[in-house]
Amino acid sequence: MSDVAETQPGAPPRHYDLPRPQKELDGLEAVWRLPTGWRVFSAINNSVVGYLYIGAAFLFFLLAGILGLLIRTQLAVPGNGFLSQETYNQIFTMHGTVMMFLFAVPAVEALGVLLLPQMLGARDLPFPRLGAFAFWAYFVGGLVFFATLFFDLAPSGGWFMYPPLTGTAFSPGMGADFWLLGIGFIEISAIAGAIEIIVGVLRTRAPGMTLDRMPIFAWTMLVFAAMIVFAFPAVILATMMLEMERAFGWPFFIAGKGGDPLLWQHLFWFFGHPEVYIIFLPAAGMVSMIVPAMAQTELVGHRLIVVALIATGFFSFGLWVHHMFTTGIPMVSLGFFSAASMAVAVPSGIQMFAWIGTIAAGRLRFATPALFVLGFIAIFTIGGLSGVMVAMVPFDWQVHDTYFVVAHFHYVLVGGMVFPLFAAFYYWAPAFSSRPLSERLGRWVFALMFCGFNLAFFPLHIAGLLGMPRRVYTYPEGLGWEPYNLASSAGAYMFAAGILLFVVDLFRNLRPTGGPAGNVWNAGTLEWLPTGNYSVRSVPHVEGRYPLWDRPDLPREVREGAHYLPRTATGMRETIVTSPVEGEPQFLMRLPTPGWSHVVAAVAMAAFFLLLVAKAVTLALICGVVSIAAMVAWMWRADPPDAGPVEIAPGVEVPTLVSGPLSPAWWAMVVLTMVAAALYLSYVFSYLFLWTVSPEVWPQADRMPDAAWTSGALASLAVSAAALLGADRVLRAGGTRIGMGGLMALGVSALVAATALDVGALRSAGLAPDKDAFGAVTFMAPLLQTQVTAAVVVIALFTLARLWAGRLTAARRVVFDTLRLLWLYALGQGTLGLILTHGFPRLMGGG
C-alpha cells in the first residue's frame, strides 16, 4: 500500500500510490458531514462558521452604514431638524462603535477563519468549537447591543466613550453600561478568535510550509492576532474601571477624587491606535494575495513585506498619544509619539511599493478584484498622507476635532479595509461558491463605491480646514460649509448605491452549496486546491510559496489522495499539527464534532453580561453558571484517549497524544496568559499614572496595612506554589487520586486565601475603594486577582473531576499542564500586585 519512507530528514515523503480505495474518501466524507436543516447552526467546521461570521459582519456593516446615511442626511443642509440632538448622538456613537467592533475586526477575523485552514493546508483550525463559540458570542451580543437603538437605550458618548461625559454625572442612563459591558464582552470573543488564529497559523500548517513559505495573508493574520492579544486588554481594563466607577463609585476618572479622565484616553488609545492596524494589516494581507494572482507573477519583496508587517505591529503601539496631542501632555512626549507616527509610515510605504512593483513586474488583469485593489491604493495613499500631516503636532492642533480628521480616518479605514475586503469578496468567491460574482455588476459596484466615497469624504477635508467641528448634530448657515456637506451627503448615497448593487450581485450569483467554481484566476496558493467539507482530500508537502504554480499537477494529486492523510486515520476528524518554524509533522490532532454546548455557552454568557446592565443580578448569575456548565460539558470530551501512533504518509508516523509544549492546548494557554499579563501591565500603568497626577491621595507609609498581613498573603501564595509543584510531581509519578486531590485542594485554597488576606489587610487599614483614586486603584488589584483565581478554581475542579474519572494520567495530562500554566501565572500576578499595592506606597511615603 505504501512506498518506502525517505531516509533523509526534512525531505518530502513519497506519495501514496494511486488510485486510493473509495472507502477512504467515504470515511472522510462521513466524519466531516455537515448537520442538515436547522441543525447546521450546531456545525463547527471553519467553512460553515466562517460563512456565518462573514455574513454577520456584513450585516453589521449594512446596519452601521444605514446609520452613516442617517448622519449624512442630517448634515446635508444647515439647521436640519431631521434628527434630534440626542438621537443624533446615539446614532453617531453606534455608527462608530458598530463599524469598529462589530464589523471591521470580526470581518477580518471571519476571513481568517474561512480562508486560513485551506490556505495553510489544514483540515480545520485547531479549536473549531472555540471559533464557533467566538462567533455566537459576537453575533448574539452584537444583535442585542444594536437593538438598544430601538429602545432609546443606546450609548451617546461617542465610540471613544470619554469620561467625564460617560460617567454617571453626565450619562446617567443605561446606554453607557450597554457599551461598557456589551463591547467588553465582544472583545472577549475577539480574543478567543485571536488565540485560535495564532495557534492555527503556528501549528497547523501543511508539512513543509516553513514560516518563510507561508502566505502573506497568514503572516498578517498572525501579526493581527498578536496585536489583539496586547491591545485589547487595555480597553477591557478601561471598560472594567469605568463600569466600576459607574456602578460602585470607584473614582478612577473623577478629578475631584484624585482620578483623571486622561487615564481613560491613554488606555483607550493604547488599544485604539493599534486597532487601526489590526484592521488594516489583514486587509493588506488580502491585497498581497490578490495582486500576485491578478498580475500572474510572484509578489515582489515577499520577505520585506514580512519585515514591514512585524515593524508595523510594533511601531503601532507607540502612536496612541497622537490622538491626545491637545490634552496638555509635555512637549517632549508629544515629540516621541510624533516620531513614532512618522516611523510607522515607512513600513506601510514598503508594502505599497511592493504591490506597485508586483503590478509593474507582471501583467495586471483588470478584473473587479484588481479594480478594488487599485482603488485601495489610491484612497489609502491619500489617507496615509493626511495621516502624516496630522502626525505633525502643530498641524494637528489646527485640525484637531474638525472634519479634517473625520475625512482622514475614513480614507484610512474605508480605503485601507473596506476596499480590500470587497476585492477579497470578488477574488475569493469562486473558491467557495459554485459561481463567481458578476464581473459586469462588479465594475459598477466599484465605480459607484469609488466615486461615491471620494465625493463623500474628500470635501470634508475642506470643511474641516474651514473649521467645521466633529460630533455636532447640526451647524448654522453662512460659514461656507454648505456645499461641502451637501456634496458629501450625495456621495454617501452614491456609495450606498454601490453596496446595494453588491448585495444584488450576492443574491444573484453566490451559491455556497454545490462545490466551488475553482481556480478562475490561476492563483498559486493552497486555498485554490479542490476542497470538500474536510478541506483538502490529501494535504500536500509544501516546497515553495506558490505550490500550484510550481506543480501544475498538484490539484489532481491532492484530489485523488496522493499526499498526506488521504483518509481519517483514527475514525475521527483530524488535522496534522506541525512544528511552528519548519513545519515538520509532529502530532495528529483529533478535532471535535458538531454540538450545541458552545452555542449554549455563548448565548448564556451574552445574557450574563447584558442582564448585568439591566441590574437583574440573580438572573445574570444563573446565566453565568449555565455558561460555565456548558463549557465544562464541551471540554469534557476535548481530550480523547491515546489512539497510538498513526501513519499520515508512507513511512511517516506521528503520535495521537502529546502533552506540554507539543500540544496546541499548551500554546493556547500561553497566549491566554499573555492576554492576562497585558491586562495586568495596563493596570500597573494605571496605578503609576494616577500616582503621578494625584500623589496627594496616596497615604503615608504609616497608614498602610500592617506588614504582617502582606507577609501572610505572600506566604499563602508560596504555599499554593509548593502545593502545585507537589501535585505536578505526584502526577508524574503516577500517584494517587487522594495525593493529587489533597495537594490541589490545598493549593487552590491557599491561592484564594491570599486574595482574601489582601482585601482584609486593606480593609483593616481603613482603606475603601470609593473614597479616592488611590482606594479605587488599590482595590482593583484584588479584583483582577479574583478574576484569574476564579478561572484557576474552575479549571482545578474540572481537572479533579477528570482525575476521578480516570481521564487524567501521567501520559494524558494536557488538562493539568494548561492548568499549571494559568496557576503559575496567577501566582506571579498575585505577587506583583502585593508588591505594588502594599510596597509602593510604603516606599514612596505618600504625596
Partner 1 sequence: MRLAVSTLYGPLLWAGQFLLVYASESLFCRAGAGETHRAFALAVSVAAAGVLVVLVARQWRALSQPALDSVGVPLAGLSLLAIVWTALPSLLMASCTAAT
By the criterion CB under 8 A, which residues form the site for partner 1? 210-212, 303-304, 306-308, 310-311, 313-315, 317-318, 325-326, 328-340, 342-343, 346-347, 393, 581, 688-689, 692, 695
Q: Which three cell numbers stand for residue 3?
A: 512506498
Shortest distance (Å) from residue 578 CB to partner 1: 15
Specify the 3-state DSSP secondary structure of 589: strand
Q: Which set of grid coordinates corresponds to residue 579?
A: 512544528
**Nearest alpha-carbon partner for 125 in 106, 109, 138:** 109
Q: Which is nearer to partner 1, 636 or 689 (CB)?
A: 689
Q: Which is nearer to partner 1, 213 or 812 (CB)?
A: 213
- CA pair distance 310, 219, nearest whole angstrom: 9
Contact present, 712 and 756 (Cβ < 8 Å): no
Kindly state the smallest distance separating residue 397's Cβ from partner 1, in Å.
8
d(CA 712, CA 694) in angstroms, rounded, equals: 30
Closer residue to partner 1 (CB): 688 or 810: 688
Closer CB to partner 1, 26 or 212, in the complex: 212
Outline where 614-663 has alpha helix (H): 617-636
Closer to partner 1 by Cβ: residue 515 or 695? 695
Q: Between residues 345 and 451, which has the closer beta carbon with respect to partner 1?
A: 345
Name residues whose C-beta falls within 8 Å of residue 474's C-beta, 6 or more positions apart in sequence.
Answer: 74, 75, 78, 79, 80
CB of 235 to partner 1, least distance (A): 19
Q: Please name the residue that has the C-alpha cell 453565568.
A: 624
CB of 838 to partner 1, least distance (A): 20
Residue 316: CB minimum distance to partner 1, A? 11
Q: Determine the Cα–Cα distance for residues 343 and 331; give it in Å rounded to an integer.
A: 18
Q: Which is nearer to partner 1, 712 or 847 (CB)?
A: 847
Q: Which is nearer to partner 1, 343 or 638 (CB)?
A: 343
Give whichever of 85 and 333 is closer to partner 1, judged by the CB atom. 333
User: And the C-alpha cell for 171?
Assistant: 450619562
Closest by alpha carbon to 679, among 829, 827, 548?
A: 829
Q: How far is the CB of 771 from partner 1 (least distance, A)?
A: 23
- Reading phi first (left if > 0) and then psi (alpha if -120 to 50, else beta), residue 511 is in beta
CB of 752 to partner 1, least distance (A): 32
CB 539 → partner 1: shortest distance, Å? 22
Q: How far is the CB of 73 from partner 1 (least distance, A)?
A: 38
Which of 339/479 has CB closer to partner 1? Answer: 339
Asked if residue 172 has a cis previous peptide bond (ω within 30° of 0), the answer is no
Rounded Cα gap, residues 558 and 529, in angstroms: 8
* CA dist., res. 664 & res. 129, Å (int): 14
Rounded Cα–Cα distance for residues 329 and 335 (Å): 10
Grid coordinates of 250: 470607584
Task: State which residue, 230 or 564, has the beta carbon closest to partner 1.
Answer: 230
In the complex with partner 1, the residue whose CB is nearer, 285 or 782, is 285
3-state secondary structure 791-846: HHHHHHHHHHHHHHCCCCCCCCCHHHHHHHHHHHHHHHHHHHHHHHHHHHHHHHCC
Q: Closest separation between CB of residue 685 and partner 1, Å?
A: 8
Closer of 270 and 457 to partner 1 (Cβ): 270
Return the C-alpha cell found at 520.
Answer: 478562475
Q: Which is nearer to partner 1, 581 or 701 (CB)?
A: 581
**CB of residue 302 to partner 1, shortest distance in Å:** 10
Q: Please identify, using beta-carbon distances, which residue of 156 and 338 lies nearer to partner 1.
A: 338
For residue 758 the three cell numbers come to: 489582601
Name the grid cell of 135.
462567533
Minimum distance, C-beta of residue 577 to partner 1, in the bound complex (Å):
18
Taking alpha carbons only, the member of 216, 448, 178, 393 closest to residue 312 is: 216
Q: Strand 535-536 and strand 585-591: pairing?
A: unpaired
Residue with grid cell 491566554, as numbered in its chain: 672
Nearer to partner 1 by Cβ, of 307 and 360: the residue is 307
**DSSP letters of 407-469?**
HHHHHHHIIIIIHHHHHHHHHHHHHHSSSPPPHHHHHHHHHHHHHHHHHHHHHHHHHHHTTPB
**Nearest partner of 60 among 87, 97, 86, judged by Cα:** 97
For the bound state, the minimum distance from the C-beta of residue 651 to partner 1, rounded and expressed in Å, comes to 27
Please, which residues have CB within 8 angstroms of residue 750's CB and are 6 or more apart in sequence?
716, 717, 719, 720, 723
Q: How many CA atoms lie within 13 A of 374 on its CB side?
A: 15
Q: How far is the CB of 343 from partner 1 (least distance, A)?
A: 4
Given the DSSP bridges, would you call strands 531-532 and 646-649 parallel, antiparallel or unpaired? unpaired
At its nearest, how many Å lie between partner 1 and the CB of residue 667? 12
CB of residue 688 to partner 1, shortest distance in Å: 8
The burial class, CB within 10 Å (0-12 / 13-18 / 19+), for 353 is middle
| Closest listed residue to residue 275, CA positions, set 416, 374, 162, 376 | 416
Nearer to partner 1 among residue 303 and residue 440 (C-beta): 303
* Shortest distance (Å) from residue 695 CB to partner 1: 7
For the stretch 626-642, what's the b/e string if a residue is b when 16 or more beta carbons lie within 10 angstroms of its beta carbon? Answer: bbbebbbebbeeebbee
157 Rama sector, left if φ>0, alpha if ψ -120 to 50, beta otherwise:
alpha
The C-alpha cell that represents 590 in the structure block:
483529533
Contacts of 463 (CB under 8 A, 6+ apart): 402, 403, 404, 407, 481, 484, 485, 488
Q: Closer CB to partner 1, residue 84 or residue 326?
A: 326
Q: Alpha carbon of 674 to those of 191, 230, 231, 420, 438: distances in Å? A: 11, 8, 11, 30, 44
